[in-house]
Amino acid sequence: MDVAGKALTDSDRHYREGNAVFDAGPGFFRPESRPSRDLSMLLACHQASRHDHGLHWLDLMAGCGVRALRWGQEAAAMAPVPPRIWANDGDPERLPWMTANLAPLSAAGLEVQVSARPAEGLLAEAFLARQAFDLIDLDAFGSPGALLQPALKTLAFGGILFLASTDGRSPTGHDRPGAVRHLGASARVHPSSWELALRQQLGLIARQVWMLGFGLEPLLSFSEGRTFRIAVRLLKRPRSGDEAQLGMLARCDSCGDQQHQTLLKLRGWPPCSCPQGQGRWAIHGPLWLGPLQDTALLAELAEIPVALASKTRQLLRRLQQDAAVVPTVWSTAELAQRLQLAGPPSLADLVAGLRNRGHQAVGSGVMNGQIRTDAALPELLQICRDLAEEGFK
């Protein structure tokens, strides 16, 4: 018999992540999503080690309860006052596994609540009961937009919302009507599709936060192309000047040129780099133009002494190196193709060349093989050409 009191069968799936040993049961569980669970646990550890009041954490779409279990086993010990943990999944069939997996936490004296309720109802009741969570993990299927305001209304100021969306088609421009419906935005196909999808999602979160009169601080944003994950901290009021971070990004399909403008000063677009003005801008947005990562926080997360998957360590290193302050990103393969070069320039050489000419430049932390820079496209192409010629000398 397993811990849920059920006879073990071949379909039982036992896993270990960090200190947590659990049975994923027959429902949805993806071992490959470990980096996102590691990060959820690190955010909880970070919060636990910096607060001296009792924290309350909500794993809203918990599946088998693995995130709540990891919070309890790895992060709770770092809190001066034991946190309260609530794991919920709308599917009642997940309840026996959640209950069994989280039993060791209750046995260790933590206050743990387990439920099988629709997220919408749970959040509405929590709001009416004036409950405030310090960390909400919303690991949704599809587009989580409808749950944003309900979740934000139950988040304490300074609290963290860690959000997943598996709706890749709308924000990457492959379902333009869907983007209008889910994001209230124009989304077009772009070679830096993951970056644009994260900026679209963050733009939506910012608008929802601001509508409530609150502010936000983006903490981290990443994707592996399938799920788009963002963590934000809720602030009591918007940070000064943050409205300028919402804007539009334009890209010309013909020449690949890019421009961006804040909504606050939106006006006509200058000509792109196409000869004789024959290019046409495809417009994305409104989306978030500001930084995607809080690199100081990421450095602190990387220092927390817990076991992480090597993929998570790599992800943390990559994100730390690129705060994503500049929203224009180019695929080096695309640049090479436009110049008919044999292969893409080395990212390190390109970064050095751009910085030598006074530009901001960094390899993208969001997508491999992409350069983030404020240089205009003609100069970027010229530097690529120069590097290719130097390579032949």
Q: Which residues bind ligand SAM (CB under 6 A)?
A: 27-29, 33, 37, 61-63, 66-67, 89-91, 94, 118-119, 139, 141
Q: How many CA atoms lie within 13 A of 316 on its CB side?
A: 22
CB atoms within 10 A of CB 381: 18
For the bound state, the minimum distance from the C-beta of residue 90 to ligand SAM, rounded and expressed in Å, comes to 3
Out of 21, 95, 255, 306, point to the residue binding Zn ion (CB under 5 A). Answer: 255
| Residues near Zn ion (CB under 5 A), total | 7
d(CA 43, CA 101): 21
Q: Which does 90 bind (CB under 5 to 8 A by kind): Zn ion, ligand SAM, none?
A: ligand SAM
> Which distant-in-sequence residues (6+ apart) come within 8 Å of 70 by Cβ?
17, 18, 19, 20, 37, 40, 41, 44
Smaller CB distance to ligand SAM: residue 65 or 285? 65
Out of 25, 150, 218, 279, point to the residue binding Zn ion (CB under 5 A). Answer: 279
Element (DSSP H or E) covering residue 260: strand 258-262
For the bound state, the minimum distance from the C-beta of residue 189 to Zn ion, rounded and expressed in Å, comes to 15
Q: Which does 28 bind (CB under 5 to 8 A by kind): ligand SAM, Zn ion, none?
A: ligand SAM
Q: Which does 274 bind (CB under 5 to 8 A by kind): Zn ion, ligand SAM, none?
A: Zn ion
Cα-based angle 81, 82, 86 (whole degrees, multiple of 5): 135
d(CA 159, CA 149): 14
Q: Which does 356 bind (CB under 5 to 8 A by kind): Zn ion, ligand SAM, none?
A: none
Smaller CB distance to ligand SAM: residue 28 or 214? 28
User: Is residue 148 a contact point for Zn ion (CB under 5 A)?
Assistant: no
Q: Residue 40, Cα to own-chain centre: how many angstroms?
A: 11
3-state secondary structure of 164: strand
User: Is residue 189 a contact point for Zn ion (CB under 5 A)?
Assistant: no
For the bound state, the minimum distance from the C-beta of residue 329 to ligand SAM, rounded and expressed in Å, comes to 28
Interface segment toward Zn ion; rule CB under 5 A; list 36-44, 242-250, 266-274, 295-303: 266-274
Q: Which does 252 bind (CB under 5 to 8 A by kind): ligand SAM, Zn ion, none?
A: Zn ion
Smaller CB distance to ligand SAM: residue 117 or 176? 117
Smaller CB distance to ligand SAM: residue 56 or 94? 94
3-state secondary structure of 340: coil
d(CA 161, CA 209): 11
Smaller CB distance to ligand SAM: residue 119 or 362? 119
For the bound state, the minimum distance from the C-beta of residue 58 to ligand SAM, rounded and expressed in Å, comes to 11
| Burial class of residue 117 in the structure, from the number of CB atoms within 10 Å of its CB (0-12 exposed, 13-18 middle, 19+ buried) | middle
d(CA 208, CA 166): 19
Q: Which does 255 bind (CB under 5 to 8 A by kind): Zn ion, ligand SAM, none?
A: Zn ion
Token pair listed for 75:
């992060």
Out of 141, 226, 254, 317, point to the residue binding Zn ion (CB under 5 A). Answer: 254
Smaller CB distance to ligand SAM: residue 89 or 294? 89
Q: Which does 139 bind (CB under 5 to 8 A by kind): ligand SAM, Zn ion, none?
A: ligand SAM
For the bound state, the minimum distance from the C-beta of residue 253 to Zn ion, rounded and expressed in Å, comes to 8
User: Is residue 112 a contact point for Zn ion (CB under 5 A)?
Assistant: no
Out of 124, 189, 274, 341, point to the residue binding Zn ion (CB under 5 A). Answer: 274
Q: Answer positive or negative: Cα dihedral of 334, 340, 344, 345.
A: negative
Q: Which residues of 132-155 are buried (b: 16+ CB within 10 A; e: fewer)?
A: ebbbbbbbbeebbbebbebbbebb
Q: Are 65 and 59 in contact (CB under 8 A)?
A: yes
User: Is residue 380 a contact point for Zn ion (CB under 5 A)?
Assistant: no
Which of 189, 229, 236 has its CA nearest to residue 213? 236
Q: Which does 29 bind (CB under 5 to 8 A by kind): ligand SAM, Zn ion, none?
A: ligand SAM
Q: Which residues bind Zn ion (CB under 5 A)?
A: 252, 254-255, 257, 272, 274, 279
